[in-house]
Every structure is written in structure tokens, then in C-alpha cells.
Amino acid sequence: MPDTNWGAVNAPATVLWSAPGKLRDYDELILRENNDPAGWSAGMDPALRLWLVGKADTMALYGEPVVILERHGAWLKVAAVEQKTRLNEQGYPGWAPAAHIVNSPAYLDALKNLPRIVVVKKTAPIYLDEALTQAAGEAPYQTRLPLLRENSGFVEVRLPNGGNGYLAGEDVKAESALTFSRSGIVSEAGKFLGLPYLWAGTASYGFDCSGFTMRLYQSQGITIPRDADEQALAGTAVARQDLLPGALLFFAAKGGVGQIHHVGMYIGDGMMIHSPNSTSTVRVEAMDSGSYGDEYWGARRYSP
């Protein structure tokens, strides 16, 4: 990434929007510099959540690197480089408040040269001291930060603003240690049962269907595309009779032959876990329940 055109997210999570500008007062919670994605998501009823469709595109996590594509007043059009998409070869595009994006040479250098740790809890406090007493924010699930030093009880990391921070050792895992297992990915998914659906969500404050599956595979050290229709073209096709836990299940309009509109993850015994829609939560149900039986498109696996 050219140094002058890159940045990193300096908020727990930021939404990447289809266009710049605030469209409703409620979103001040997520748009302000010191934002509150947890409160923003938790405070929305189904109607407020449904409003996001077509207006929000994805979500980038704390520390996630971006390429700056365009500037418009207090907004930046960016590409989230670790979210694969055919929409932009540099990463998933969208508009974010400029206050959420920082450009720190120290952080860029750390990204290039240091290993990273990964947050494995739903959220992990970030501290300013080794004793882990001065909390200064939080990092959601699958946040990745450059590792400066590891101790028995904590890790020291480079923060997006160029400073140093600390996380409890039990809250993180080395990125290099992430490996796929069928039981492991099912266990990771179960952490989020009951979490309300969030259109464009890729964070532990709320997931859409493909944001959920993307982060689950990231937890196993595997990168898959951001959107369901592209996830369906990656990996290897799996016949229905050969399904194993961890395979992704895709559903399409027109009796399963039209446009793909949903993805869930197979967990065994004909069951899937998924984040269905703006009126529901992450849940387990039969892959043939409701309209899903008629709309089944196929399955893919991404592990060896």
C-alpha cells in the first residue's frame, strides 16, 4: 500500500456506507469520533435495522487496514483491504467518517514487519498499562493488531494511532496459530447464538449472514470473500450427501437457481447456524426449515 493512501480504523468498528453523509440522527452513535457500535446496534428495533439495507455496505474493525480512495469533506471513501470482493481489487469499498481513519507510520511499519495477535473473545478491553487497570477502549472479535511483546499475563500491541496498548493474554491468540477444525469453527459460531442480525455487520456487535461466515473462517486462519454470492464461487463444491460441519450452505431465489441471497454454516445432522435477517438473531435450525428447503443452492468447503 502506498504510505500516503493508506489508513487504519481507529474506532472499535466503523460502518462503510454507500454514500457520504449522515442520513438519520440515530446514527450519531456510530458516526461520532468516539463512537459506540455496541450501543448503536443494541438500541435498534427491527425497523431501524431494516433501514440499513442498501445504505450500509460492510463494517471494518479496529486496526483494520484500508486504502483511501477518495475524500469528500469529513468523509473518506476507503477499501477494506482484508475483505475480498470483486467490487474493488484493493478491498471492500465504502464511505467512513474521516475521524475513524488514522494514518500512522509507526502502525504501518508494525503491520509490515510484526506478527499479529487476534482477539478471540466477543470483545476484549484495551489497556494503557501492563497491570491491565487503565482501560482505554475495546476491540471486537477477530480484531488483529501487531504484537510488540508477549508476557505471561498480557500482550503489548501497536495501536492504530501509533501508540502502545495492552490486552489480556487470555483474550487473544497468535494469528500464526489459527488452524481449521470442524469442531473449532462450530464452537466459534456458538459464541454468538442470540446476537441480533445487523445488515452490513462483520463485528461481534451484529453480523449479517456473510459477515458472520467470513469472520468464522477468519477465526480458522482462512480468508474467504465478504459477500455470500462470492463465497459461493470460492472453495470447493460439496455434494449434499457429503456435508460435514463447517461447510457453508447457500440459498438462492427462484427455487434455488436464481440470485444467491443467504448463507449459513452446516453444523451436522441436517442443522445449520446462521444470522438470517433484520427481525432475527444468530440461531440454529434445520437447513430445510421454512423456505430454505426449496431455495437450497449448494455448499462449499474452504479447508484442505
Write the CA distances from 86 to 8, 79, 110, 171, 226, integer angstroms.
Answer: 21, 12, 28, 33, 10
Q: Does residue 100 have an active-site annotation?
A: no
Q: How many CB atoms lie within 10 A of CB 60?
A: 29
Helices (H), the chain: 28-31, 37-42, 46-50, 105-113, 182-190, 209-218, 228-231, 253-256, 292-295
Exactly one of 72, 100, 209, 261 is catalytic; name it. 209
- Rounded to whole angstroms, the Cα distance separating 229 from 226 reads 9
CB 267 within 8 A of CB 186: yes
Would you call 274 a catalytic residue per the annotation? yes
112: exposed, middle or buried (C-beta count within 10 Å: 0-12, 13-18, 19+)? exposed
| Rounded Cα gap, residues 228 and 259, in angstroms | 10
Which of 72, 100, 261, 262 is catalytic? The answer is 262
Selecting among 72, 100, 261, 274, the annotated active-site residue is: 274
Query: Which of 255, 256, 204, 250 has its CA nearest to residue 230?
Result: 250
In angstroms, the first-to-last Cα distance of the chain is 30
Strand order in the sheet with 92-97: 56-61, 13-17, 92-97, 75-80, 65-72, 6-9, 101-102
For residue 197, give the DSSP letter: P
Q: In angstroms, rounded to a whole number, what is the distance separating the alpha carbons of residues 152 and 132? A: 13
Cell numbers for 13, please give them. Answer: 468498528
Positions annotated as catalytic residues are 209, 262, 274
